[in-house]
C-alpha cells in the first residue's frame, strides 16, 4: 500500500471523517471510508435526507452524477413548468418556502429554494460522480459503492449505511415505435423540450396525457403551434382548484374525516360540474376514483391548468394510440394517418436502481421500486434505505427523509465507539 491519510471535518456535524488510500502511485482508483451514510442522488430526496441527518449530528456524503443539484429540474424540464401542488405540500423538512413565493412556484423559484436549502444545511454533493455499482460486503459488514468521475477516475466508498435517493425519475422512458427510423422529423422526449417557441407554426404530436403531456400541449398552443395529443389510456382530469381551495389540499382535508371512496365521489361530482364530461373530448375516466387509483397504482390525476379548454375548442386534437410512424406522418390504431413535423414523448421516467445496486431483497429488479408498499418501503436490510420512491411526491420524500435520519441516528449513537475501529478495518480491506 503506497500511502494513507486521515481527513477530519471541522466538527462532528460538518464533514464526515474520511480515510483515503491511494492504491498505488499510478492507479486511477481510490478508496474512501465513510463512517456516516452515503447518499446516492442530489435531488430533493437526497438533499432532504442529508439535511435531516445533519440536524441530528450525523454526517453524510452525497454523490451526484450530474454537475448540479436537482439536475432533473435544472436540466431536463420545460421553461413554463410550475409545481403542480401548492407550495405548502412541496417544501422539504426543516425549511419552508419564502413567504413571497406564489402558491405554485415556478421552476426557477423551486430551484432557487433547493439551492438555498443546500446552503443552509451546508450540503456539498460530490458532483460528476456516476455510481456504477454498489453491493453489501458480508465479510466486512459494510457497503461498497463504486463511482466514476468525468475523467474516468474511480472511487470506492465504504460505508455502514447506503441511502438510495435516485428516485422515480432517474431515466427517461422512450417507447419502441414501429417506423421510428423513417419518421424524419424532430422526435424527442420531454426531458429535451424547453419551449414551444421552436415549434411555432408546426404540427406537433404529443404522446402521453399526464400532467407533463397536457402542459406541453398548452405551451405549444401558447406559441401558435398546432398540437395533437395521443391519449393511450384512461385519465382523471381535475380542476387545479375547487370550492375556493386547491384540489389536493381539499382532498387531504376531507380524507381526515371521510372514507377515500366518498371523497373520490365528491371530487368527481365537482369536476363534472366545473369541467363537464371529459369523455366527450376523448378523455375517458378510469373506473377507480382519482385518490383510490393513486393509492393503488401511483397514477397521478391531471390537474388542469388550461389545457382542457383548448381541447374543447379544437385547438388541441385528441388522437388514439400510434400504430406506426411513417415519413413525417403517423398512422393511428383507428387506421387514420396524419402528417406531423415533430413528436414529443411525454412518456415519463423510470427508476434505474437495478442497473447499479446489486441487491435483490429490498428493490424489485423489474421496476426498480422498493418491493414493500408505502409507508414501509423506506428501509431494507444491512443499513440500506430508499427515499423518493413513494409515488407521493415531495410529501412522501419528506416523510421518508425524517424516518431514515431518525433510524440512522439511533444506530450512529450506538455504534459511535466503533467508528475508529471501522475506519481502520475498512482501510485494510480496500482492494
Cell of 322: 400510434
d(CA 5, CA 147): 20
Residue 227's DSSP bridge partners are: 204
Instruction: Tally Cβ neighbours within 10 Å of residue 317.
Output: 17
pLDDT of residue 14: 41
Task: Report the relative pairing of strands 186-189 and 342-345 from DSSP bridges.
Answer: parallel
Q: How is the chain split into domains, by residue range?
A: 3-170+351-429, 173-348
pLDDT of residue 202: 97
pLDDT of residue 413: 81
Are 51 and 119 contacting, i.e. CB atoms less than 8 angstroms apart? no
Cell of 173: 422512458
Taking Cα atoms as reference points, which of 249, 180, 251, 192 lies closest to residue 216? 192
Residue reference for cell 382530469? 237
d(CA 427, CA 431): 9
Contacts (Cβ under 8 Å, ≥6 apart) of 270? 239, 242, 243
Q: Is the dihedral of CA 238, 239, 243, 244 positive or negative?
A: positive
pLDDT of residue 18: 45
DSSP 285: P
Are 404 and 49 contacting, i.e. CB atoms less than 8 angstroms apart? yes
Cell of 36: 456516516
pLDDT of residue 10: 32
pLDDT of residue 429: 54
Crossing angle of the two packed helices 107-120 and 44-55, in degrees rounded to 10: 30
Q: What fold characterizes domain 3-170+351-429?
A: FAD/NAD(P)-binding domain (3.50.50)
DSSP 219-270: HHHHTT-EEEEE--S---EEESEETTEEHHHHHHHHHTTS-HHHHHHHHHHH
Q: b vs e for 236-253, b when ≥16 Cβ sit within 10 Å of the residue's Cβ?
A: bbbbbbbeeebbbebbbe
284 backbone dihedrals φ, ψ, rounded to 5°? -70, 140
Task: Tell me which H or E stretch contains 147.
Answer: strand 142-148
Residue reference for cell 373530448? 281
Residues of the chain with pLDDT under 70: 1-28, 416-431
Q: Place domain 173-348 in its CATH homologous superfamily.
A: FAD/NAD(P)-binding domain (3.50.50.60)
pLDDT of residue 428: 52
pLDDT of residue 146: 96
Cell of 206: 404529443
pLDDT of residue 30: 87
Residue 126's DSSP bridge partners are: 63
Amino acid at each position: 500500500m503506497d500511502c494513507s491519510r486521515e481527513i477530519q471535518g471541522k466538527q462532528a456535524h460538518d464533514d464526515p471523517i474520511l480515510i483515503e488510500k491511494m492504491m498505488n502511485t499510478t492507479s486511477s482508483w481510490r478508496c474512501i471510508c465513510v463512517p456516516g451514510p452515503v447518499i446516492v442522488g442530489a435531488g430533493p430526496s437526497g438533499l432532504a435526507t442529508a439535511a435531516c441527518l445533519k440536524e441530528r449530528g450525523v454526517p453524510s456524503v452525497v454523490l451526484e452524477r450530474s454537475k448540479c443539484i436537482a439536475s432533473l429540474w435544472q436540466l431536463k424540464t420545460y421553461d413554463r413548468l410550475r409545481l403542480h401542488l401548492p407550495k405548502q405540500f412541496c417544501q422539504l423538512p426543516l425549511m419552508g418556502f419564502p413567504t413571497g413565493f406564489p402558491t405554485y412556484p415556478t421552476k426557477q423559484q423551486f430551484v432557487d429554494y433547493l439551492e438555498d436549502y443546500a446552503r443552509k444545511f451546508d450540503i456539498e454533493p460530490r458532483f460528476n460522480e456516476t455510481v456504477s455499482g454498489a453491493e453489501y460486503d458480508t465479510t466486512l459488514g459494510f457497503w461498497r459503492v463504486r463511482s466514476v468521475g468525468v475523467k474516468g477516475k474511480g472511487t470506492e466508498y465504504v460505508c455502514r449505511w447506503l441511502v438510495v435517493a435516485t428516485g422515480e425519475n432517474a431515466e427517461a422512458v422512450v417507447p419502441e415505435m414501429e417506423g421510428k427510423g423513417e419518421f424524419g422529423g424532430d422526435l424527442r422526449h420531454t426531458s429535451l423540450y424547453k419551449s414551444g417557441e421552436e415549434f411555432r407554426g408546426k404540427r406537433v404530436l404529443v404522446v402521453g396525457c399526464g400532467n407533463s403531456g397536457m402542459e406541453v400541449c398548452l405551451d405549444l398552443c401558447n406559441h401558435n403551434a398546432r398540437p395533437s395529443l395521443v391519449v393511450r389510456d384512461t385519465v382523471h382530469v381535475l380542476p387545479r382548484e375547487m370550492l375556493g381551495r386547491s384540489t389536493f389540499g381539499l382532498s387531504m382535508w376531507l380524507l381526515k374525516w371521510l372514507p377515500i371512496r366518498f371523497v373520490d365521489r365528491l371530487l368527481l361530482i365537482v369536476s363534472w360540474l366545473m369541467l363537464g364530461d371529459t369523455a366527450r373530448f376523448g378523455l375517458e375516466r378510469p373506473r377507480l376514483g382519482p385518490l383510490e387509483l393513486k393509492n393503488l397504482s401511483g397514477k397521478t390525476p391531471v390537474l388542469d391548468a388550461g389545457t382542457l379548454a383548448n381541447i374543447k375548442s379544437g385547438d388541441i386534437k385528441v388522437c388514439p394510440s400510434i400504430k406506426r410512424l411513417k415519413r413525417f406522418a403517423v398512422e393511428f390504431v383507428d387506421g387514420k394517418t396524419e402528417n406531423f413535423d415533430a413528436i414529443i414523448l411525454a412518456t415519463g421516467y423510470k427508476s434505474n436502481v437495478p442497473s447499479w445496486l446489486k441487491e435483490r431483497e429490498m428493490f424489485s429488479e423489474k421496476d426498480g421500486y422498493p418491493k414493500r408498499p408505502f409507508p414501509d418501503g423506506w428501509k431494507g436490510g444491512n443499513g440500506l434505505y430508499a427515499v423518493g420512491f413513494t409515488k407521493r411526491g415531495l410529501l412522501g420524500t419528506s416523510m421518508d427523509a425524517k424516518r431514515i435520519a431518525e433510524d440512522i441516528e439511533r444506530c450512529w449513537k450506538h455504534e459511535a465507539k466503533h467508528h475508529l475501529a471501522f475506519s481502520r478495518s475498512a482501510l485494510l480491506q480496500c482492494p
